Amino acid sequence: MTPTLPSIAPPSIADVRAAADRLRGRIVMTPLLENSLLNKRMGGRVLLKLETLQHTGSFKYRGALNRLLQLSPEQRRAGVVAFSSGNHAQGVASAAQALGIPAIILMPSDAPAIKVTNTKGYGAEVRHFDRWKESREAIAAGIARERGAVLVPPYDDADIIAGQGTAGLELCAQAHALGAVPDSVVVCCSGGGLVAGIALAVEAESPATKVYTAEPAGFDDHAQSLKAGKRVTLKPGATSICDALLAPSPGEITFAINRTRLAGGLVVTDDEVLDAIAYAFRNLKLVIEPGGAVPLAAILSGKLAAAGRTTVVVCSGGNVDPATFKTALDRVTA
């Protein structure tokens, strides 16, 4: 069996369009929602791209399915392996299940229980690792060697980025249908796959629109890297409730795309994230997980001016434990 070498070339807009053709009818075309209370509060037009309503509760299904659909019959039989704090795990597991491919998922032992249960629910075999002591990359590479399984990386892969970018093509088309030209698109960011894919789509479809990352404080490697013009790796030790956004540095392929295409990086506190989750419950009737609420937190807390403008806010995932959600509910005032 030929070992599968990951592609290190960044995807192009043609790859994003090809992914959209490949995924059509297999994914949810998630709504671009407008809410009068949010518009009023921000003094501008805010359009929410609801990837919370994607299969598996996050955008990760797009990239995973785009990658898996391109495996050879031989590769499908050997199966796939992935590591993830949770949303990529569910995306790969569910995409693998949809295509009848065996999947092993490595998850940190402190991943939210709901994400672990769901991953198993999609038929994958889950193995745990210690986020601070073990190298998930090394364990995954070992499994890939043993079984001939294909490693599906969470973000630094051309097919993954192209798959996530389909959300960007959709939001441009949906904004256009509403008669809106977005001034800005705000996207949460860990390794940078979603924002890279969206940046490619927005560059092609809505070139006047600026794309921003949004990250939790302590994990603002993209904000710092964009300022420095090169990949910055953060020192370990920070913590955040945004379990989906804990990557210490931008990906290599993702940053090759993002370095020249992004307008800047926004940073929010956990406190602002909990307020945003509470706001979404109270006024938008949406369940958003901490990592997924970071872009909403960025505009609600005024990190990006939205008054008099049209801003697209990507709500990227909704896989939150009840305990965390209750903490946010305690901030809801009648």
Output 277 or 298, the one with its CB closest to its own copies: 277
Place of tokens 């999609």: 122
Output 151 or 329, the one with its CB closest to its own copies: 329
What's the 3-state SS for 223-283? HHHHHHCCCCCCCCCCCCCCCCCCCCCCCHHHHHHHHHHCCEEEEECHHHHHHHHHHHHHH
Q: How far is the CB of 24 from its own copies (least distance, A)?
A: 12
Q: Strand pairing of 210-216 and 184-188?
A: parallel
| Sequence-distant (≥ 6) Cβ neighbours of residue 258 within 8 angstroms | 192, 195, 196, 199, 213, 222, 226, 250
Q: How far is the CB of 5 from its own copies (least distance, A)?
A: 32
Q: How far is the CB of 40 from its own copies (least distance, A)?
A: 9
Rounded to a whole number, what is the largest CA-CA distance in the chain?
62
Pairwise CA distance, residues 185 & 199, whole Å = 9
Q: What angle do CA 276, 41, 53 make, to 5 degrees?
A: 45
Output 50 or 304, the one with its CB closest to its own copies: 50
Output 120 or 261, the one with its CB closest to its own copies: 120
Output 18 or 173, the one with its CB closest to its own copies: 173
Task: Tell me the DSSP string of 113-176.
Answer: HHHHHHHHHTTPEEEEE-TTTS-HHHHHHHHHHHH-PEE--SSSSHHHHHHHHHHHHHHHHHHH
Q: How far is the CB of 130 from its own copies (least distance, A)?
A: 20
Q: Which residues bind its own copies (CB under 8 A)?
A: 28, 31, 33-37, 50, 52-53, 55-57, 94, 98, 112-114, 116-117, 121, 281-288, 318-319, 321-322, 325-326, 329-330, 332, 334
Q: How far is the CB of 287 from its own copies (least distance, A)?
A: 4
Output 172 or 315, the one with its CB closest to its own copies: 315
Q: How far is the CB of 288 from its own copies (least distance, A)?
A: 8
